[in-house]
Every structure is written in C-alpha cells, then in structure tokens.
Amino acid sequence: MAPATPSRKPLMAGNWKMNNNHLEAIALVQKMAFALKEPDFDAVDVAVIPPFTAIRSVQTLIDADRLAIQYGAQDVSQHASGAYTGEISAAMLAKLGCTYAVVGHSERRQYHAEDDAVVNAKARAALAADLTPILCVGEGLEVRKAGEHVAHCLAQLDGGLEKITADQARRTVIAYEPVWAIGTGEVATPQDAQEVCAAIRTRLADLYDGGVADEARILYGGSVKGGNIAKLMAQDDVDGALVGGASLDPGEFVKICRYRDLPV
Ligand SMILES: O=C(CO)COP(=O)(O)O
C-alpha cells in the first residue's frame, strides 16, 4: 500500500495497564515532559494511557504545564449511564479531556470475556462521545501457528467496526497486537507486523473507501522497545505503536517517540 502520508501522523501510545498510582503517574509524565521537546510533537502524537484513577492527575498536570502529551483510558463502558456498578462512561472520559479509549485489548478479551459485540458497542460509545477508540485486534499463538492470523484479525476488525460510519472509521485507530508478542519480549518481525497491518488497511478500503484506508492509523503493539521500533516504523502500513512495558520507563518511551533518530 502507499507509504504513510502526512495525514497519518504517527502515534506512540503508552498503555500503562494496571501500573502507577496517581502520584507515580504525575512523576512519569513529568519525566517524559522534561525530555520531549516541541519538534518531537510536530513529528509524532504522544499519548499516555494510565489507569482510570490517575487520569484526573495526568489531566491537571498536562493542562497546567500546557504539555502536548495526549492521554486516554484503557477501557470504556458500552453504556451511557445508569446502574452499571464499576463502569466508566465515555462522556466521563471526554469530560476529563481524554483523546483516546482503548477497546478490545486482548487482556480484556481474555480475562473479562469481551467478545466482538461488546468491543463494537464500546467503540461506538467512545465515538459518540468524540473519543478516538484504539480498537485492538490480534491472534494467539495457536492461530498464528495454524496460519490463520490474517483471517482472525480481519474477523475481529469486521466485528469491531459494525455500524461504524466511514467518518467514524477515519478517526478510529486500529492496533494490531499479536497476543504471543505481548509482554513476552518476543516482538513480531517487521514483516509480520506489516503483513497484518496491510491486510487491515486493505479491509478498511473494502469496508469503506480508499480515503478511510489512507487516513486511519494502524499501530503495532507487542514488546515494542527502543531497539526494535525503527524497523517496525519503516513498514509502509505501521503508523505507530501501542507500547506496554516500555512505556513505564520514560527513557525508553522517549526513545520510541524519537524513533527517527534511531538506526533502522
Ligand atoms: O499490550 C500491549 C500494549 O497494549 C503491549 O504490551 P508490551 O509492550 O508490554 O508487550
């Protein structure tokens, strides 16, 4: 497919998962803010995705210091409001200034039994509140070994995008996260990442049109580090990364954000 166009600004998003209380979150964002300079933000969107309990603190710091760091949530309720104990609505997250909401992360699919219908409802709830969903797809090791990884990811994509309009799809971020590469240190090869990201882009063109496929950002996630990001970003259809473990280390995450300075 065509190389990344200026309309696809790379996105480096740090998914902190269940790490960092609100005080630790402030310290981490402060360290990142100290290292990242204005030209970094011209080249790449940088986002942190803390636990819910830290979002308000991150917002306060980012607002007070006028930082160009974006932020979001790791999950969002499919419901708008009401008797859903423990849930957080998209409107609540929008009110906190969140840009993104991750939906369909494999850890939610695996440990919280979220299927494509739930993931789709969450994506639509996020879009309705003007949040940008980061819709995660990815295959487990068995599926990869059986050679079914592309079909598996495209089925998750189709399910996740049900009833989502072209305008909404254009601003949705898709993240390809092979489950076998998450937290294992076993990063997908750049070719593995490109194969699935390209297939996702082709599917977006089929489901919508070439404009949506050209504009939607597709991230890779799974053991991304400073040492492998440059090769991943050199792939035509990889527009950024959803980073887990390495996003907890400000030095490593800043290196990832500055992948252009690293040798390919
Ligand atoms: O799940 C991930 C990001 O959402 C990836 O996690 P790791 O970078 O720790 O492998």
Question: What's the pLDDT band for 4 if we cut at 50, 70, 90?
Answer: very low
143-155: per-residue pLDDT in tens? Answer: 999 999 999 999 9
Ligand 1 centroid, distance to 49 Cα (angstroms):
12
186: annotated active-site residue: no
11-57: per-residue pLDDT in tens? Answer: 999 999 999 999 999 999 999 999 999 999 999 999 999 999 999 99
Alpha carbon of 255 to those of 16, 50, 228: distances in Å?
17, 19, 11
58-103: per-residue pLDDT in tens? Answer: 999 999 999 999 999 999 999 999 999 999 999 999 999 999 999 9
ipTM rounded to 2 decimals: 0.99
- Domains located in the chain, CATH noted: 11-261 (3.20.20.70)
Task: Identify the CA nearest to 131 among candidates 100, 162, 175, 165.
Answer: 100
Which of 177, 187, 220 to mutate for ligand 1's pocket (most ligand atoms within 8 Å of CB)? 177
CB atoms within 10 A of CB 62: 18
CB 79 within 8 A of CB 44: no
Give the rounded distance of the alpha carbon of 220 from its chain centre.
8
Token couple for 138: 């990815």
% of the chain with per-residue pLDDT over 90:
96
Give mean pLDDT, residues 220-238: 98
Closest ligand 1 atom, CA of 136? 4
Question: What's the pLDDT band for 203 if we cut at 50, 70, 90?
Answer: very high
177: annotated active-site residue: yes
Q: Is the pLDDT of residue 226 over 50?
A: yes
pLDDT at residue 178, rounded to an integer = 98
Establish how many alpha carbons lie within 13 A of residue 126's alpha carbon, considering only the half-sphere containing its beta carbon.
Answer: 32
Binding positions for substrate: 15-17, 183, 223, 244-245
CB 106 within 8 A of CB 136: yes
Question: What's the pLDDT band for 6 if we cut at 50, 70, 90?
Answer: very low
pLDDT at residue 144, rounded to an integer = 96
Average pLDDT over the chain, rounded to an integer: 96
Ligand 1 centroid, distance to 20 Cα (angstroms):
15
pLDDT at residue 7, rounded to an integer = 76
Give mean pLDDT, residues 163-169: 98
Indicate whether this model's pTM tops 0.90.
Answer: yes
